[in-house]
Amino acid sequence: MTRNLLTRLGTGAALTTAATLALFTFDASPLDAAPAPPMQVLGATFGLWDLPQDVGSLGVASGTIADASGATVFELKVSLEEIQSPALALRFGTIDGLLDDGSGLAWPRYEVSGDWTASSLIGRGSFKGTISRQVSPHGPTIPIGTIGGRFRDFPLFPNQDGAFAGRWQATL
């Protein structure tokens, strides 16, 4: 009698376990879900802007790229190179650098490239650029957004950083 009862209990436990496994086996899990579609993100960008001292030297801009809620999406670090200007009152150059998404991963890699222009006398100007993503070391760099804004960096105070502020948008 005891052996017969244990056999029945064992069979019942086995059926219960099998039913539970079947439930989880056929249930869609978050890992099986399709990847999230790309989403449009936009917001503000701001930080420090230090123009190059002269043609051929490098300056730097660094700051934050935030979403509409103010949460940091990227940290910006770009080089500013000045190009010889035909006009004495005008300075202009290129922007080239990286965006750090804070993940600690090398890929995907986010880049910024563009140009800037400024008044030689007061160091006030504007910038615009393209945000691109490279998903692997040998993969293509794909444009995913834009960045632009204004800056001020007084040329009379070369040891004092200026500031920039602007807007950005990208499909992440």
CATH code, domain with 71: 2.40.350
For residue 41 the two structure tokens come to 């993100």
Integer Cα distance of 29 and 23 in angstroms: 11
Q: How confident is the model at residue 6 (pLDDT cuts 50, 70, 90)?
A: very low
Whether 19 and 104 share a structural domain: no
111 and 52 fall within a common domain: yes
* Cis peptide leading into residue 52 (ω within 30°): no
Domain identity same for 11 and 46: no
- The per-residue pLDDT of the chain, averaged, comes to 83
Q: What residues make up the domain containing 15?
A: 2-32
**Does residue 126 share a domain with residue 92?**
yes
At 7 the pLDDT is 46
Are 165 and 155 in contact by the 8 Å Cβ rule? The answer is no
> What pLDDT, on a 0 to 100 scale, did the predictor assign at position 27?
47
Model confidence pLDDT, tens digit, residues 34-87: 666 788 999 999 999 999 988 888 999 999 999 999 999 999 999 999 999 888
Tell me, yes or no, whether 158 and 73 share the same domain: yes
Looking at the structure, do residues 53 and 11 belong to the same domain, yes or no? no
Return the residue matching tokens 């910038």: 127
Q: What is the DSSP letter of 13?
A: H
Q: Are residues 160 and 98 in the same domain?
A: yes
Structural domain count of the chain: 2
Instruction: Work out the angle at residue 125's Cα, subtended by the Cα atoms of residues 96 and 100, and round it to the nearest 5 degrees.
Output: 30
Are both 26 and 104 inside the same structural domain?
A: no
SS3 content of the chain, % helix, strand, coil (to 5): 15, 50, 35
**Do residues 25 and 87 both lie within one domain?**
no
Are 74 and 158 members of one domain? yes
DSSP letter (8 states) at residue 168: E
Mean pLDDT, to the nearest integer, of 93-98? 97
- Quick one: 106 and 71 in the same domain? yes
Q: What is the model's pLDDT at position 148?
A: 98
Q: Are residues 23 and 96 in the same domain?
A: no
Share of the chain above pLDDT 70, in %: 79
